[in-house]
Amino acid sequence: MTFIVHPPRGWRAHATAVCMGAALLLGACASPSSTPSASAVAGTSGLAMQAPTISVPPTSVGTWQELGYFQAPWLAGDAPVPVNGATALTRVAGLRRDDGHWLAIVVVQQAPGAVAECPAVNELHIAELGRPGNGCLRARVDADFDGWLKQQHSVLYQWLDGRGWTSRPRAWISTRVPDAAGGALESHVLVDTRLMEPTTRNNIDFLTGGQPAIAWVMRFAAATRAADGGVLQVPPFPFAPSLVAAPAVPEAAPPAASAPAKAEQVSPSPVVTPRPPAPAARSDRQ
């Protein structure tokens, strides 16, 4: 096993390549290959073989939901695909905030008996793989910056967006490994970046803030390699800050006191003095 060690930098600030049976690029995309308590989120299928089930970690923000089991197109768009049409065995789970905002979407796909090579190396420093067939690991911090996800993984982008599972900001992590049946297993995570990065207050925080994210990505890659035919154990995200909580609903303001009625000035009615009765007619003039 070989590592390339760079000076610690935030995963936003530097593209880091790591080989641990996989290659990681943070902030860009591509990598090589040779030929590869949690509560369980269950699914059902009439197929003899299924994609791994997804087991999710506890969370203090939002609720994990099973989003279904599908036969779908192969969703990665940066390398050859092992299936034709919508035939890839696919399972999806999501972490949703109470206000409907998706904090994370996890997708796992399996193509039994069909080989899918990893993307070609693209301007990366890659250490030698310990042995062939270990697979590849890629990540991008801001997946939607400059339309990157839509351009590079348009099938994934459209497939999720068409089901209402799109929220931003989000990072993209994906790992592809060979399965025991000579096929391919690939997982994707689209996750709110605030679950992966700490709040930075100074240069030291910024330069070291990417280390928890790198550790999480490596754990997720290991979980994918171990999920063949079983369960994908999603590691707990490094952070669950209050920033990802739903905005507080402002309390209803007390009803405004009605303005006092404006007094209307009324002029008093004039006093009318009754006229005295007319004197009786004189009898000598009748």
* pLDDT tens-digit series, residues 165-209: 999 999 999 999 888 888 899 999 999 999 998 766 776 655 655
Segment 60-67 mean pLDDT: 93
- Is 162 in contact with 51 (CB distance < 8 Å)? no
pLDDT > 80? residue 161:
yes
Residues 6+ apart with CB under 8 A from 29: 78, 119, 122, 138, 139, 140, 148, 152
Look at residue 122 and tell me if it is in a domain. Answer: no
Look at residue 253 and tell me if it is in a domain. Answer: no
Please state which of the ranges 43-47, 53-57, 92-96, 266-270 shows the lowest mean pLDDT: 43-47
Per-residue confidence band for 253, with pLDDT thresholds at 50, 70 and 90: low
Per-residue confidence band for 249, with pLDDT thresholds at 50, 70 and 90: low
Residue 208's pLDDT is 59
- Is 3 in contact with 218 (CB distance < 8 Å)? no
Stronger pLDDT, 260 or 227, i.e. the higher one: 227
Look at residue 10 and tell me if it is in a domain. Answer: no
Segment 156-170 mean pLDDT: 95
Look at residue 6 and tell me if it is in a domain. Answer: no
Stronger pLDDT, 251 or 14, i.e. the higher one: 251
pLDDT > 60? residue 146:
yes
Residue 118's pLDDT is 80
Look at residue 188 and tell me if it is in a domain. Answer: yes
Q: Please give the mean pLDDT across all residues of the chain.
A: 74
The residues pairing with 107 across neighbouring beta strands, listed in sequence order, are 92, 188
Q: Which of 43-47, 80-84, 210-214, 255-259 has the highest mean pLDDT?
A: 80-84
The rounded distance, in Å, linking the Cα atoms of 124 and 145 is 20
Look at residue 189 and tell me if it is in a domain. Answer: yes
Look at residue 215 and tell me if it is in a domain. Answer: yes
Residue 212's pLDDT is 87
The rounded distance, in Å, linking the Cα atoms of 222 and 217 is 9
Look at residue 201 and tell me if it is in a domain. Answer: yes
The pLDDT tens digits of the residues spanning 99-142 come to 999 999 999 999 988 877 887 765 432 333 334 456 788 888 89
- Can you read off the two tokens belonging to residue 2? 């070989």
Stronger pLDDT, 8 or 63, i.e. the higher one: 63
Domain coverage including residue 188: 39-115+144-238
pTM above threshold 0.75: no
Per-residue confidence band for 47, with pLDDT thresholds at 50, 70 and 90: very low
Number of domains in the chain: 1
pLDDT > 90? residue 53:
yes
